[in-house]
Amino acid sequence: MKKKTASFTRRGFVRALARLTAFPTFGIPLFTFNGVATQALAKSVWPTQADWDSLRNEVKGRLIQVTSPLKACQINSGSSHCAEALEQMKNPFFLEGHPGATQSTGWLQGWKTEVSPYAVAAESPADIVAAVNFVRKHGIKLVIKGTGHDYLGRSNAPDSLLVWTHKMRKITVHEAFTPTGGNGPGVPAVTVEAGTRWLEAYDAVTNQHGRYVQGGGCTSVGVAGGFIQGGGFGSFSKKFGIAAASMLEAEVVTADGLVVLANEFQNKDLFWALKGGGGGTFGIVARLTLLTHELPENFGIVQGTIRASSDRDFQELLEAFADFYTQNLGNEHWGEQVKIKEDNSIDIALVFQGLSKIEAQKVWQSFLARLESRPQQYTVETDFTVMPASKMWDYGYMSNQYPHLVTLDKRKGQPSNQFWWTSNQGEVSRFQWSYQSRWLPLQLFKDTKRCAELFFRMSRHHSFSLHLNKGQAGATPTALERGQNTSINPAVFNATALIIANGRSDTEAYPDIEGHKPDLELGREVLRRINAAMKILRDATPGAGSYSNETDYHEPNWQEEFWGTNYPRLLAIKRKYDPQGLFQTHHSVGSEL
């Protein structure tokens, strides 16, 4: 195995780089190219059949031709075969297990899913090396798909070679792991290959070994790809930190076709870049190792709705909630979402850990009692649920105790415990009209009156959610210390939440299928309203930043918004490991050059 050594220097922030893009207008085309055309790509000549045959031999037959899972619908959208295909497209595990499918189907004025003519169905780092060398030699576009969940369409592109890591699913749980080149007793950890889904990681770590790994909520999301490399947040990030901060080591195929190890002892700069600098940017991760944590006794859920009778009552509710949050919820115990809606209501969908049901109810008692004492102004509905943390990803237990929360993958030949959360169904085969996010600075939230006024003004245009687990203000000291050694935008550590406005996007919508195309007229109206709501927030929070994995396809000043003061260092690392821009995705480090 060949290895590289680390070398970098910090540079001042180049703000000019963050001003190269702007919001599109309605006059631009509906779709644009998903990737970035480098100089090499501009001069490319599509490989001959002999070239493809040579690659197929090198990867021992694992070069496959890819077709759309909706091919039957492209031929006849009214056929029974099309109906069968559309039914399959409702299953997230089908989508991640098909090389021609993606979880999202496109983005208004941004992209639509495309099929690579060929894919290397990689089973080892050697297969990935062969694909990288082939792309570098022929100057064609390279795309990488683990599970295809990326909102921005970065795991697909036309006229490309796909590196498909679906079959790389080996998992090893370690009682004591020491990164290569280090010494000492080691720490509990789990090593996963590039195609591993979070459900499999949780099964191995929690169901089988009684520990916890900080990962994503959606069970079919991949572990080693864009989730971790973009930063990664789970329900309990204020307790355990961002997922990237748990990375201990990565095996990476770089643009020159070398397989290198990156950790705190070797290739330190690459290791740092992979912890938040964006997936598909610095190399292809074939395998990574993550720290595991002691499993809490319980996980809990708080669900409910609070409705205000008037605009004035709603403003008072927003102010009261901001105060309640800063005093009671901005800590390691709480995570997930509170939705502020146009109809003067708040939907609560929060989780907690480290508390019993009685302790959790006590936290909320005085706040809810104050509202319930004013029935003319407010109606309150809440429900508290607690379950053993060891059963969270046990389908047998969940389907028996909480069948409404889980949906089983009933296809023949699938694992008996392969399920997804029913609440995630709306993300499956979704065409995105708009999705915008912004970190909410803690200081603004503490100014409860100003914050309430801001939220109220935003809600007159469109509903939005506060993802409390995706801000690190209030996280444990250990989580903050680990997180500050990552390359994610440092603004997250002073943010109490990530605000997301994402619209009522079309589900089961396919741009190229007659009778199933997204409603573009409605989409443009939703986009207009979200733009209006988020402009209020942007104007009030200059420089607050946005989360690169869950953001606007058309984000202006994206370099600064996604990575803040870390961008110049990331750009230097990109130039070192990928000087020709072999790895290029939409709004990734170096894609503007």
pLDDT confidence bin for 425, thresholds 50/70/90: very high
pLDDT confidence bin for 8, thresholds 50/70/90: very low
Measured between its terminal Cα atoms, the distance across the chain in Å is: 31
Task: Determine phi and psi for 352, rounding to 5 degrees.
Answer: -145, 160
Percent of the chain with pLDDT over 90: 91
**Residues in CB range of 176: below 8 A, 6 or more apart:** 185, 186, 187, 188
Confidence (pLDDT) at 44: 62
Confidence (pLDDT) at 505: 74
CB-based contact 332:474 (threshold 8 Å): yes
Percent of the chain with pLDDT over 70: 92
Eight-class DSSP state of 222: B
Can you tell me whether residue 541 is helix, strand or coil? coil
Alpha-helical (H) ranges within 342-483 are 357-372, 395-401, 442-446, 448-459, 477-483
Question: What is the tens place of the pLDDT at every residue in 142-193?
Answer: 999 999 999 999 999 999 999 999 999 999 999 999 999 999 899 999 999 9
* Segment 349-367 mean pLDDT: 97
* Segment 6-24 mean pLDDT: 31
Residue 433 has pLDDT above 60, yes or no: yes
Residue 219 has pLDDT above 90, yes or no: yes
Question: What is the tens place of the pLDDT at every residue in 524-553?
Answer: 999 999 999 999 999 999 999 999 999 999
CA gap 261, 527 in Å, rounded: 43
* Segment 416-423 mean pLDDT: 95
The token duo for 67 is 């077709």
Question: What is the tens place of the pLDDT at every residue in 454-502?
Answer: 999 999 999 999 999 999 999 999 999 999 999 999 999 999 999 999 9
**Residues in CB range of 550: below 8 A, 6 or more apart:** 151, 435, 437, 498, 500
Largest CA distance in the chain: 78
Residue 423 has pLDDT above 70, yes or no: yes
How far CA 88 is from CA of 97, 105, 149, 218, in Å, comes to 11, 14, 16, 18
**Residues in CB range of 502: below 8 A, 6 or more apart:** 432, 434, 435, 436, 465, 530
CA gap 537, 464 in Å, rounded: 11
**Residues in CB range of 53: below 8 A, 6 or more apart:** none
Question: 31-165 sits in which CATH class?
Answer: alpha beta
CA gap 199, 193 in Å, rounded: 14
Eight-class DSSP state of 262: E
The token duo for 181 is 């080149």
Encode 479-493 in three state secondary structure.
HHHHHCCCCCCHHHH
pLDDT confidence bin for 593, thresholds 50/70/90: confident
Q: Which fold has domain 298-389+426-557?
A: Vanillyl-alcohol Oxidase; Chain A, domain 3 (3.40.462)
CA gap 496, 474 in Å, rounded: 7
Which of these, 545, 566, 425, 546, lies nearest to 487 by C-alpha position?
A: 566
Domain ranges for the chain:
31-165, 171-294, 298-389+426-557
Task: Determine phi and psi for 400, rounding to 5 degrees.
Answer: -80, -45
* Segment 303-318 mean pLDDT: 98
Confidence (pLDDT) at 30: 41
| Helix, strand, coil percent values for the chain (each to nearest 5) | 35, 20, 45
pLDDT confidence bin for 17, thresholds 50/70/90: very low
CA gap 124, 367 in Å, rounded: 54
Question: What is the tens place of the pLDDT at every residue in 57-111?
Answer: 999 999 999 999 999 999 999 999 999 999 999 999 999 999 999 999 999 999 9
Residue with tokens 């000291």: 477
Q: Which fold has domain 171-294?
A: 3.30.465
Residue 31 has pLDDT above 70, yes or no: no
Task: Please give the mean pLDDT across all residues of the chain.
Answer: 92
CA gap 347, 380 in Å, rounded: 10
CA gap 124, 115 in Å, rounded: 23
pLDDT confidence bin for 24, thresholds 50/70/90: very low
